[in-house]
Chain A
Amino acid sequence: MAAAIDGVLPATLQELVKKSKVLVVGAGGIGCEVLKNLVLSGFTDIEIIDLDTIDLSNLNRQFLFHREHVGKSKARVARESALSFNPDANITAYHDSVTSTDYGVNFFKKFDVVLSALDNRAARNHVNRMCLNADVPLIESGTSGYNGQVELIKRGLTQCYECTPKEKQRSFPGCTIRNTPSEPIHCIVWAKHLFNQLFGESVEDEDISPDAADPEAQEAAAEVKDPGAAGDAPDGLKEKETEPATANGNIVRINTRQWAKDCNYDAGKLFNKFFNEDINYLLRMSNLWKSRKAPVPVQWDTLLVDGAGSKGPELARQTHKIWSLEECAHVFANALKELSAAFLKLEGNDTLVWDKDDQPAMDFVAACANVRSHIFDIERKSRFEIKSMAGNIIPAIATTNAITAGISVLRAFSVLQAKWEQCKAVYARLRLNGRNQFLVPDAFFPAPNPNCYVCASDPAITLRIDTKRVQIKAFRDEVLIKTLNMVNPDVTVESTGSILISSEEGETECNEQKLLSDMNIVDGVILKCDDFFQSYELSIIISHFDAERDDVLFEVIADKNQLQPKEEKPEEPEAEPSSRKRAANGNDATDDGPSTSKRSRPTEVEDDDDDCLVVEDDDDAEEKVQESVEDTVAAATNKLTVDCPQKTATKRKPSKTLDDEDVEDITEILDSSDEEVVGPTKCKRTKLEETRAGEVINID
């Protein structure tokens, strides 16, 4: 309530604080801190929105919440707690999603400044667009471990949140997951898929059985094609092999779930099927093992001579221990029992939803991932570590959140006073840079990207897409909504004016199952997309390509200059450790390179992987610039819910039209809207990218 006491703040600032209307988006780690700072500073007109409820693991940093609040609305409890700090404030709390159409441009226009403290990219993109359209300054913030950042986004002055391409989520080829895992994460992804095959929403691209169509295994696949010859084929394989459509390599897809049910979820039977029979099947694809270590199948009876006892629950609590194979089997049996019981209680077509915080679901994945790791001679991990990877948990601490939120509100002071020169982005780091700074303001505002597909005057993108394999529905859900973050798009074909996708329900439903090419959406066609809610218009130039097996089916190219055939997979950006950036402030986020490529925003920065490098500086002959390595690994899909069936970025062509085409089968690792999903934590760092460490995507 500083502004309520004359003489505390300079008079102009005092008046602005008293009369300004502020929106806080997100009541998590940063949001709680921001709200406290706002009410204590004397802001009295505050609105806060968050759709989340309070979890026990929030309490180490989201200090407006206590144990008795677990399960309640974050926005509402935050409001109550903040009011106890300053009963004179007026706070409106919305327990809701900021992307809901209830909060349109007019809602955003009410505010003098918006402080965003979000935890996921989709909502950030959306708030970015709403603030650009409403012309309201947005102070965007995020933290990850010791790293934090605050930046102003203001139309016409700064880059927008989407001016720089996003880090792609790491994805794994289907055959790596199904046939030839080589890292723990491959086994974890497989285990999550197994969970979904048995209990979760059935997702086509999440097969867990051996992939006989693996090109590398072609000869081997031919050998076992005749079910008669493979007399010892696992139960589940037989039925499928009588179907001609096995060209897609999915051996037991639909039937795994039914088969498991028919077995009464017998732990031994299921265990042997997944970890013995299927592995034996893989072994017969001998091509795969010519240059790899062959997997070693394991057998339930030899592992647990006396069957699974009651050790499972106790073992499962030893989260930091690396379980032995036998212990994994115990945990597997116990988790299977609990999950199957829960599953059988569901009605109709309801399914379980994998959640890292659900004990048996997490136990199941930890146990299965470790058994599979053992089979393929991959390092086993503790349940604790697997939870990080499977749940995409970003570590979060109170201090970084407090520092970041403090800077965010100080920047709000400058914004309200229109002191724009004082609004440059700030980065919080664990270690000092070459100028002995660890709270590091940018030296200048990076210029907006003239090719930005959001804030440019006439935004356009080129979309490389396999028009012969992507349906209109997938184009809308995966490209427009999921990738380009539209909410409710209308699409017309520029040359003809015909409506391809309508935001009115049912109007273009007849097109949904058609392929783009069936609708004459082919190479060179320009589509006009319009999201009325976001007031966002975008031209999409279609660039057709024939996707190879294991290619993703589309790629957005914001900058036309980047439109070249790519050898590298998008998730494996070239390592460029030698590229040195001119960092004016010793700050790794400022750069003089093309604005399109370097200042990648969602860098999922982990810990503080700082390395000292020597560059020249204007006053000191040599200065160290901290360079962070970002962790490019983003782990497995989180929460495959029934409500959002479109979780994969690729759509397989319906099998009846397969013919002799190669079949694509990609496991895409995706972001989700859960609190911790935006980045990886304990994944093994394998890649070194350009210095993008200036950016942190939050978390909370």
Chain B
Amino acid sequence: MKMDVEEHAREAGVELTDAENELYDRQIRLWGLESQKRLRTANILISGLNGLGAEITKNIILSGVNLVKLHDDKLVTEEDFCSQFLASRESLGNNRAEASLTRARALNPMVDISADTQPLSEKNADFFGQFDVVVINGASNEELLRIDTICRELGIKFFATDVWGMFGFHYAGLQKHSYVENVIKYKVISKPNEKVKYETVSTPVQREVEYPSYSNWLEFNINAPNYQRKLKRDGPGIILLRVLQNFRSTYKRDPNYKTRLADIALLEQIRDELVPNSALSSDTLGLLFAQISPAVAVVGGVVAQEIIKVVTKMEAPHRNLFIFNPETCMGYVEQIGVH
């Protein structure tokens, strides 16, 4: 199957142990031994240990990567108990990354897991350079742009992601990414006078795709006339993302349940300034507080699956902006800055 597929020297010759084969049996049956070996060498940074961070962490640790760094300088609050299941009730007021360590390690003793509590703004290229994939959650657009730029220089795969209440997104900055995709074709196997029967033939194909930088999203004009038809079709999720990021940079915080009504009014104000007469309803703005567990599970599942795709170099990662609409449960991908 790997005939015309590039060889990766780093993984060559590394056999999984019996214990690994047994633990990862069901997923090896899906993505194959080679992918599992690649996962085992991967080092992942997860910055922002809120509910979303916890979900991504859980899924990535379960998949059997080499190392996960949990990074956060914030403390556990009551709000975290809406979805941050790695921090116990007793850890209220402690650092979120450190509070997550015990349960994170219990998920898979074979993964090297540690915490880092230094503020993100103090982290530079030396820090990010230790990882294969960097996932940043809960940061400002300025920070995201800074880290994306560092990652582009170092060739590190970058994900920005967030969930507000039930709404979420991720942005993939993967630079040049090559992967293998299995292309399925049908082959007629019946004889001419028989009923037509087919056999599927799966051929691995190597592809290479360019992922634009995060700056493309910051510069993206959602009011551009040629975008309006698409906006109508896919719904106002992308407007909502803009509104929320705008709220974060304006007020240096996210909408807060303690000031629910006032914050909905602020969101409405931003909405009307950004995109007058948009389809973004005020009902939807009522779903944006704290992080609601099932929605976080969806977005965290998607982001973790993207990390797995990137690490295993199997299947196309979403290019490049993923939006989850919690009311319809539609998850779709918008191409930003892709030509």
Contact = CB atoms under 8 A, between A and B. Distances in A.
B120 to A, nearest CB: 25
A395 B23 contact: no
Given A5-B78, A405-B294, A409-B293, A609 B257 contact: no
Contact of A7 (B29, B257, B318): B257
A236 interface: no
A120 interface: no
A435 B297 contact: no
Given A60-B23, A403-B298, A431-B316, A575 B197 contact: yes
A9 interface: yes
A588 to B, nearest CB: 14
Interface stretch (A82-90, A245-253, A535-543): A82-90
Interface in B25-65: 25-31, 33, 51, 55, 58-59, 62-64
B220 interface: no
A396 B27 contact: yes
A439 B29 contact: no
Given A37-B294, A402-B300, A8 B18 contact: no
Contacts of A1: 81-82
Given A2-B290, A5-B78, A397 B21 contact: no
Nearest to A7: B257
Contacts of B23: 56-57, 59-60
Among B63, B292, B294, B332, chain A packs the most CB atoms within 10 A around the CB of: B294
B64 A60 contact: yes
B329 A426 contact: yes
B313 to A, nearest CB: 15
B297 A8 contact: no
Contact of B26 (A36, A397, A687): A397
A686 B189 contact: yes
Contacts of A438: 318, 331-333
Given A577-B186, A611-B184, A687-B198, A395 B30 contact: yes
Nearest to B256: A7
Contact of B295 (A406, A686, A687): A406
A629 interface: yes
Contact of A685 (B64, B199, B297): B199
A23 B184 CA distance: 40
A595 to B, nearest CB: 23
A138 B63 CA distance: 31
Contacts of A399: 59, 63, 301-302, 304-305, 308
Interface stretch (A61-69, A488-496, A499-507, A519-527): A61-69
A384 B33 CA distance: 11
Interface residues of A, number: 84
B257 A5 contact: yes
A393 interface: yes
A408 B234 CA distance: 22
Nearest to A422: B327
Nearest to B33: A320
A146 interface: yes
Contact of A577 (B21, B62, B85, B198): B198
B330 A437 contact: yes
A31 B109 CA distance: 23
A145 B22 CA distance: 17
Contact of A85 (B85, B233, B308): B85
Given A398-B62, A430-B315, A687-B197, A36 B109 contact: no
A33 B63 CA distance: 16
B8 interface: no
Given A619-B229, A686-B189, A686-B199, A393 B29 contact: yes
Interface string B304-318: 110010000001101
A50 to B, nearest CB: 18
Interface string A43-77: 00000000000001101110100110000000000
Interface in B277-295: 283, 286-287, 289-290, 292-295
Interface string A652-693: 000000000000000000000000100001100111100000
B129 interface: no
Contacts, number: 235
A695 interface: no
Contacts of A428: 331
A393 B31 CA distance: 14
Contacts of A40: 51, 81-83, 85, 293
Contacts of B332: 432, 435-439
Interface in A352-404: 384, 388, 393, 395-403
B332 to A, nearest CB: 4
B295 A410 contact: yes
Contacts of B64: 60
A10 interface: yes
Interface in A433-449: 435-441
A319 interface: yes
A8 B290 contact: yes
Contact of B293 (A2, A685, A687): A2
A629 B166 CA distance: 33
A676 to B, nearest CB: 8
A407 interface: yes
A393 B28 CA distance: 12
B328 interface: yes
Interface string A514-555: 000000000000000000000000000000000000000000
A521 to B, nearest CB: 34
B166 A410 contact: yes
B70 interface: no
Nearest to B258: A7
Contact of A436 (B25, B199, B328, B334): B334
A28 to B, nearest CB: 11
Leading 10 A-B pairs by shortest Cβ distance? A439-B331, A406-B297, A7-B257, A395-B30, A402-B301, A409-B294, A40-B293, A406-B298, A688-B198, A403-B301
Interface of B: 18, 21-31, 33, 51, 55, 58-59, 62-64, 78-79, 81-83, 85, 88-89, 106-109, 165-166, 184-186, 189, 195-200, 202, 229, 233-234, 257-258, 260, 283, 286-287, 289-290, 292-298, 300-302, 304-305, 308, 315-316, 318, 324, 326-335
27 contacts: A7-B260, A7-B289, A8-B79, A8-B82, A8-B257, A36-B297, A40-B81, A41-B292, A41-B294, A60-B62, A384-B28, A395-B29, A398-B59, A402-B55, A402-B300, A403-B302, A410-B294, A411-B329, A428-B331, A432-B333, A441-B329, A441-B330, A575-B195, A611-B185, A611-B186, A688-B186, A688-B200
Given A402-B297, A574-B195, A610-B184, 18 more contacts: A2-B290, A2-B292, A10-B283, A40-B83, A40-B293, A41-B292, A57-B22, A61-B62, A398-B63, A399-B305, A413-B294, A414-B327, A438-B332, A439-B332, A441-B328, A611-B184, A629-B186, A688-B198
Interface of A: 1-2, 5-10, 33, 36-37, 40-42, 56-57, 59-61, 63, 66-67, 84-87, 145-146, 150, 317, 319-320, 384, 388, 393, 395-403, 405-411, 413-414, 422, 424, 426, 428, 430-432, 435-441, 568, 574-575, 577, 607, 609-611, 619, 629, 676, 681-682, 685-688
